[in-house]
Structures are given as C-alpha cells and as structure tokens.
Amino acid sequence: MAASLLSKSRTDFVLDAACREAEEVLLDQRLFVLDEERFSAFIDAMEKPVASNERLHALLDKKSPWE
C-alpha cells in the first residue's frame, strides 16, 4: 500500500528504503580512521575554544513550549 501511494513498485520501494537505512547506518558510524596528519588536525579542531554565539545562547536560554 505504501509503495502504491508513492507510485512505486514494491521492489523500488523496498530498494529505496534499504538504501536510506544503509545511508543512515554509514552516517552514524562513530569509529573512523585518520592518518597522523589528519588526526592532529582533528584534535586541534576539537581542542580549539568555541567562539561565542549570542544567538545560540539566547536559543538555549529560551524556555521550551512544553516546559
């Protein structure tokens, strides 16, 4: 029924769903391998102080509608 709502065959629907899920799995990987130079650049970026962002602070200080 879902495939027909999208005007797709069941095969195309299942393939699209499988590809989306595979992409999500790959994007959610927490382990990645870097050479020494890229690892150093990564560590430098992680240790660099975060620039102040007033708009972000204002958003985080704002009470959520459900609170």
Confidence at residue 29, expressed as pLDDT on a 0 to 100 scale: 83
Q: Six-digit token pair at 40?
A: 């150093």
pLDDT in tens, the chain (67 residues): 999 999 999 999 999 999 999 999 988 888 888 999 999 999 999 999 888 889 988 988 998 888 8
Half-sphere exposure of 42 (CA within 13 A, CB side): 8
- pLDDT reported for residue 31: 81
Task: Please report the pLDDT score of residue 9 as a whole number.
Answer: 95
- In this prediction, residue 14 carries a pLDDT of 96
